[in-house]
Amino acid sequence: MRDYKKVCRCRDCGKIYDKGIPYICSKCGAEIGRPTPTILQMMGSGEVTLTEKCEKVVAKKGLFGWKVREPQDPEAIQE
């Protein structure tokens, strides 16, 4: 699994976010994240909670864009 990393992908348009997840997709305008409540942020959950329009995938950046690796079983990328 060299050079592959966990990223988030918009389900509507397929845009991949590797560094940070915005609240609204910059390509299609879908809401892919919500602000996390302050109490959960203090516990270490992060600033953005993913919605159903965003999915976690394993991908790597190549010469012609991102290449998504489809897992053998769907439970492989869930934490």
Give me the residue label for tokens 């590797």: 18
CATH code: domain of residue 12: 2.20.25
- Segment 58-73, tens digit of pLDDT: 999 999 999 998 765 5
Biggest CA–CA distance in the chain, Å, is: 41
Residue 40: which domain range? 5-72
- Segment 36-55, tens digit of pLDDT: 888 877 887 777 888 889 99
Q: Give the confidence band of 10 by pLDDT, cuts at 50, 70, 90.
A: very high
Predicted confidence at residue 44, as pLDDT, reads 78
Give me the residue label for tokens 């390509």: 27
77 part of a folded domain: no
Please return the burial class of 25, using the count of CB atoms within 10 Å of its CB with bins 0-12, 13-18 and 19+. Answer: buried
Predicted confidence at residue 73, as pLDDT, reads 55
44 part of a folded domain: yes
Predicted confidence at residue 9, as pLDDT, reads 92
Q: What is the enclosing helix (H) or strand (E) of 63? A: none
